[in-house]
Amino acid sequence: MWLMLDEIIKNPSSMIKYKFIMRVIGAYGLIQVFAQDIGIPSGCDQARFMHKIYVQIIVFTSVAFAVTDDFLQSFLGTMLYFFLKYTLSSNVTNDVCFPTKIQIDKCGDDQS
């Protein structure tokens, strides 16, 4: 199932199916965000599934890959996102997805 690096180098066409899968997952991620933006709520199990960090890493990387067609850039962008969220921000998050400037300024003030 898993490809070895030397196999990929010898036969880059073997990556076509993996690129296809990443683009499909990436398309799902874009559709999910669009659906939320126009007010279509997510299913309960769907939301629980998407909140697993490993699923987020795969979906975020796949969405970026669908746009950049470069796995390394996509993966590094995903890692940058998680670094900023969990390390730089110490996992202190806003209460809403689209905070106002006042909410951004107050973010983390009530944390002890």
- pLDDT single digits (tens) 54-64: 999 999 999 99
Binned at pLDDT 50, 70 and 90, residue 96 comes out as low
What's the pLDDT at 99? 62
Residue for token pair 């730089």: 88
Between 45 and 105, name the one with better pLDDT.
45
Q: Is the pLDDT of residue 41 over 50?
A: yes
Q: Note the pTM of the prediction, 2 decimals.
A: 0.75
